[in-house]
Chain A
């Protein structure tokens, strides 16, 4: 089964070579990574995706990685990628990738997150070409996604995927009420934290013509605020509040929040404009599949 796919890919690579007549070897490409330009050749066959965004990119481009990390706040592949990922080997957690487990998989490409430490990079790049996207989680998600796509030898497909999201956002924007303020919040009983509006989800929401809440817009350096005092809970107020929960049971997080009178006093709560969403997508991932889910959630909340 894998042979025809391989033949296909090789044929495509040949065609490209003939067409452009530039690269010396099949599908040689140079991509811009956090560690400078990185030249890769050939279509990778054994990809290890370290992080949800890398896994999202690979799966959305039809590549089945051989290994990945358990996502933040879970012991497994993030729920939204589980079906597509199938039986994939876990090689540690986001906090602590296991180098030996990665080596055992004999990868020919490692897709890391932009937060990979220099020490780990040094070791991983001895095993296989290791791609660390430029910037950090505040980078335009398209750039990160395109870097992964390029590394996977799917640059063109990657651009198509990005264009799909942009087209869907533009279409959805036409149907949404404009200028609505949105806040994305992670609920803790002692007080919530608000997610910065400059991350992946914030970028998508801005494309939809939705406004960030002031406190979220002010989080320019950190992915989320510190724990807000309950006295200042009104600062998470917006027309719509999305409660991101790492718990599969979102209902429970909302019930928890509703027990706190400071929460039920919020205007959005009183008007029932609160929606619980999957925190693995809304607060810690990015990519094509995550974007589709975020757009689904927004559509469901604001239009149904």
Chain B
């Protein structure tokens, strides 16, 4: 169908253009005194030391981080909604975010200091949280039922979240260092965050690319997928693993950021239909778009202060989701 292929190309081009513009905005706008013009000048090689520092050392770094986290969350959202066939599935629901947060709270509580913690602890927690959920459903022999999976995930997320809260209430010192792990933020992350998370993102995306074809077949039904020679169990497991890696990476890099993984797939399906091969690609562009938008707003709202992006992402995401829900017939999975 050449006509539909054109729309896909158009949608991808549109998303890429948005992303480019938002990257520009992210480099030019900030909560500080360095406005658009001085920032632009610095980008073009101006010699103003302060402007150069703010544009290249602060805004550049957080823009890169937003790209990484946005891609990871967007891709994870699409994969999870596809594999669970549940439009309400959100990476947070699989016990992934809660696992990562809890692992870090526990580590800080046991005496580690937040800065010296490697992303590894958070990623390990994310994987463990996810595996725990998978294990429980598997033990009962109902692992194939996506709804039960999400329910088990919700239960574990609730429990891990409560445990984190308990530790926070118990140890006030932890509370001070921990605020970040409760509400995500892109600013002020250690400089090596990007290097640390890059392998996670690459591994997750690679795995996503491997499973996307069988996953598309699975959308047509179990039998069709088997008939086409795909291993359905393995496909599901691979997809969940990819989600855990992607969300674990994102959470470790920027703390828990809600809503992106939920709304981005909706926008994508609205633009190009429900074929996961298209929505995955589009979501990986739209994820960073929404996150960058939220981040830019988080800097402009309360100058000279900033809000954590984890707060703003919900404010930005909710109206978009409502608009999608109101406007048209809901695109189905």
Contacts and interface: CB of A to CB of B under 8 A. Distances in A.
Contact of A230 (B58, B173, B302): B58
A229 B32 contact: yes
A98 to B, nearest CB: 14
Nearest to A192: B188
21 contacts: A75-B171, A189-B115, A189-B188, A190-B187, A225-B305, A227-B306, A229-B303, A230-B187, A230-B188, A231-B31, A232-B32, A232-B33, A246-B173, A247-B173, A247-B176, A247-B177, A249-B113, A252-B113, A256-B115, A260-B188, A262-B57
A262 B176 CA distance: 21
Name, among A73, A190, A249, A265, the residue most crowded by chain B CB atoms within 10 Å (CB to CB).
Answer: A190
Nearest to B175: A73
Given A188-B188, A231-B30, A261-B191, 16 more contacts: A188-B176, A188-B179, A188-B180, A189-B180, A190-B185, A226-B302, A227-B305, A227-B306, A229-B187, A230-B187, A231-B32, A231-B33, A231-B34, A232-B31, A252-B113, A261-B57
A191 B188 contact: yes
A257 to B, nearest CB: 10
A259 interface: yes
B188 A226 contact: no
Nearest to B30: A231
Name, among A74, A93, A191, A234, the residue most crowded by chain B CB atoms within 10 Å (CB to CB).
Answer: A191
Contacts of B177: 247
B99 to A, nearest CB: 22
- Range, interface on chain B: 35 or more
A228 interface: yes
B176 A73 contact: yes
Contact of B306 (A70, A191, A234): A191
Interface of A: 70, 72-75, 93, 188-191, 225-232, 234-235, 246-247, 249, 252, 255-256, 259-262, 265
B172 A231 contact: no
Contacts of A246: 172-173, 176
Given A75-B171, A189-B180, A265-B53, A228 B58 contact: no
B40 to A, nearest CB: 16
B173 to A, nearest CB: 6
Contacts of B172: 70, 72-75, 93, 246
Contacts of A262: 53, 57-58
A230 B187 CA distance: 8
B306 A73 contact: no
Nearest to B192: A259
B331 interface: no
B304 interface: yes
Nearest to A257: B115
Contacts of B32: 229, 231-232
B308 interface: yes
The 10 closest A-B pairs by CB, nearest first: A231-B32, A229-B31, A226-B305, A229-B306, A232-B304, A190-B188, A256-B115, A231-B30, A190-B185, A73-B172
B69 interface: no
A100 to B, nearest CB: 18
A155 B294 CA distance: 56
Contacts of B185: 190
Contacts of B31: 229, 231-232
A191 B187 contact: yes
B141 interface: no
Contacts of B33: 231-232
Contacts of A247: 113, 173, 176-177
B307 to A, nearest CB: 8
A266 to B, nearest CB: 12
B180 A190 contact: yes
Contacts of A229: 30-32, 187, 299, 303-306
A190 B115 CA distance: 11
Contacts of B314: none
Contacts of A249: 113
B45 interface: no
B187 to A, nearest CB: 5
A74 B176 CA distance: 10
Interface in B50-88: 50, 53-54, 57-59
B114 interface: yes
Contacts of A255: 115
A189 B115 CA distance: 8
B305 A189 contact: no
B191 A259 contact: yes
Interface in B173-228: 173, 175-177, 179-180, 185, 187-191
Contacts of B188: 188-191, 230, 260
B180 A228 contact: no
B52 to A, nearest CB: 11
Contacts of A235: 304
Given A190-B187, A262-B57, A228 B114 contact: no
B115 A259 contact: yes
A249 B121 CA distance: 22
Contacts of A190: 180, 185, 187-188, 306, 308
